[in-house]
Amino acid sequence: MLHKKSSNNNLMIKALAGSVMTAAIVIPIASANVQATSVSKTMLKDVPKSHWAYESIKQVAEKGLVTGYEDGTYKPSAQVTRAEFATFLSRVFDGNDRTPSKFSDVEASHWANDAIQEGLAVGFIKASDFSNNKFEPNKAMTRGEMSRWLANGLAHANADYGKAIEEMSNSSLTIIPIPEFYGGGVNKKDLPYIGVALGTGLLSGYKDFTFKPNGNTTRAEVATILIRFMDAMKKAPYDYTGLKELREVASTGTNILTISSFEKTKYGGYEEVLGKPHTYLNNTGVATIEHAIFVDTTGSKPKGIFKDMFFNEKGEDKILLNKGIYSIYYEYTFKPSRDVSVQSVSNGSNLHFASNLLVDKSKIALFNLSSPKSTSTNEFLKGETYRYWASNGVMPKPGEMFGSRTDDDSMFYYEPK
């Protein structure tokens, strides 16, 4: 249902344009002092070739990153603890720098102490992330924590990853395409790190698109993650389109330049108009654009890191595919001057400040998006302020621009490259 705007709640609609508007996881550690030992691939008797992670497990075992146990097992379904993951990552970096640990529960004799000291030196472990000066080495790693360690590790390898983290951390425009972003269940401080993990493909969501930040990770999954991590260390952030999209959104409120074939004109881009009022010509109220998220639907499959958040290719949205159209998902703030419906707002309004179609219901439910229940009911009430998502579409046409302006004549206009 549609909600009124409040300081603690962002509300949104998605309305898909039917036509172009204009140019995870468990290891009972036998003992805190029992660790895996080096083992050849032939000794991993509990990882058959049919196992989904066989190749990754074989690679990390051969590299000595995640080794098997003395009994010849790998325990692919076992959870990974903080001490273990510190050890795995320290083996990837294999450096000589150490920062003495001040954790009260990690003695100098602890089997993972050296790895933890290397983690502190490299920076994938931050002492400030732990309360009461306790590391809790036997605690299972959460996916949120793992994202943080991995992103910090990438920042050590390439400072621009650190800039990406900073951009998403410090911006009110940041959106991370997981259901927990609007639905809760995630530490807000973890969001930029999850963004880096998603943007580089180190971690991904589940079938229901949830990220499960508080969920755990198995040794099989970690093997795959470590292979991806080593590959990411060789690349720069700009090599990942998804991460570029997230950074552009954090900086400008849109991902248009990363995911589409449009470029800004001399009149400016979306960042020039964000939060600025636009009064509708039909006197239904005043709106502002807060975000403009693009999904590439020009081909047979939707593309972009936000596609699963907004576009349902198995539903009615599929009619937009293969028509050269980019789907746009606008987040608006709207204050009606009278009781109006979505349809009333769109009639006579600028096409990029209103839409008359609703969000796909499955996306509303999955990503905790707010939406009107119908296009014809007067759900916007006079005097109240609403924040919601709606959709639009645009097709690149040579020589044609699309855009609009706000009441103070701030403008955004784009044209095909």
| pLDDT score for 229 | 98
Q: Return the percentage of the chain with pLDDT > 70, whole number.
A: 89
- Record the pTM: 0.89
| Helix intervals (H) in 253-389 | 256-259, 307-310, 342-346, 361-366
Over residues 279-312, the pLDDT tens digits come to 998 889 999 999 999 999 999 999 999 999 999 9
The whole-angstrom distance between residue 119's C-alpha and the CA centroid of its chain comes to 25
Over residues 241-274, the pLDDT tens digits come to 999 999 999 999 999 999 999 999 999 999 999 9
Sorting pLDDT into bands at 50, 70 and 90, what band is 43?
low
Over residues 346-374, the pLDDT tens digits come to 887 778 998 878 888 899 899 998 888 88
Q: Given CA atoms 149, 155, 158, 162 in this order, what sign does their dihedral have? A: positive
Which residues, at least 6 apart from 48, have a Cβ–Cβ distance to it below 8 Å? 54
Q: Is the pLDDT of residue 119 over 90?
A: yes
| pLDDT score for 98 | 97
CA atoms within 13 A on the CB side of 77: 2
